[in-house]
Amino acid sequence: MTRTALITGASSGLGAEFARQLAARGMDLVLVARDRSALDAVANEVRAAHAVEVEVLAADLLDPEQRDTVVSRAADPQHPIDMLVDNAGFGLSLAFEDTPVEDEVRHLALHVEVPLRLMRAVLPGMLARGSGRIINVASVAGFVPRGTYGAAKAWLLSFSRWANVRYRGDGVTVTAVAPGFVHTNFHERLGLPPGQEGVPRGMWLNAPDVVAEALRDAARGRSVSIPSLRYKVLVALSRVLPDRIVAGLGERGR
């Protein structure tokens, strides 16, 4: 029986790469993002390359009505979701004192409330079938003091670790993926042209490598996936260094 993955933020970046790699493994897809034309382009690409079924759901996950449409699709027992990839997100300035509070509330909703709702939607069906995988795209920022983005990702890391312990024995694994800086259009959406992000060249990762390692770790049932040795070392250091130093390092880049 063909399995189905639902991916949010699937129109570009890591979401589109998850779509490519999961389609290459023979999974049908439900792709979710705001940009219908960009979603259609990804859908057409993977259909042509891998002959899988692709459903496109153009939805703004911050609009309650549109979000609930996606949640209903995730929970549909007639068309079950075997893998959920919570990937949708955006960044904000580290200047919390200058950021409009409504922007912060929307940021929190997309990074915390939306994954919570989608996980809650797919879990009953996965548990009833005795199998399922949930991948939550977090960030190494979740391990360091780094504004509200790091705080939101810390919630996702913590909840994923607990949920993996809670449900793994019932056949459902939950893995938080915590990459560092990845070559996608994430920083461009922050208004930063390539090369102006303030990040050393050696700290950048490539999306195909991040996704491949994430899928390997999810298959192994790991609670947390930190792609690349350099970021594993940085996360280990962040646990022993004083907050003042770690927060200072977190100020580098955007």
pTM, to two decimals: 0.87
Residue 254 has pLDDT above 60, yes or no: no
User: pLDDT, tens digit, for every residue of 218-241?
Assistant: 999 999 999 877 777 776 666 655
149 included as an active-site residue: yes
Q: Tell me which residue of 139, 231, 146, 221 sits closest to 177, measured CA to CA.
A: 139
Say if residues 164 and 126 touch (Cβ distance below 8 Å). Answer: no
Catalytic entry in 143, 149, 159, 167: 149
pLDDT of residue 201: 65
- For the chain, what's the residue count? 254
What's the CATH number where 135 sits? 3.40.50.720
Q: What domain count does the chain have? A: 1
Give the whole-number percent of the chain exceeding pLDDT 90. Answer: 72
DSSP string, 109-159: IIIIIHHHHHHHHHHHHHHHHT-EEEEEE--GGGGS--HHHHHHHHHHHHH
Give residue 81's domain range: 4-250
- Round the average pLDDT of the chain to a whole number and report it: 88
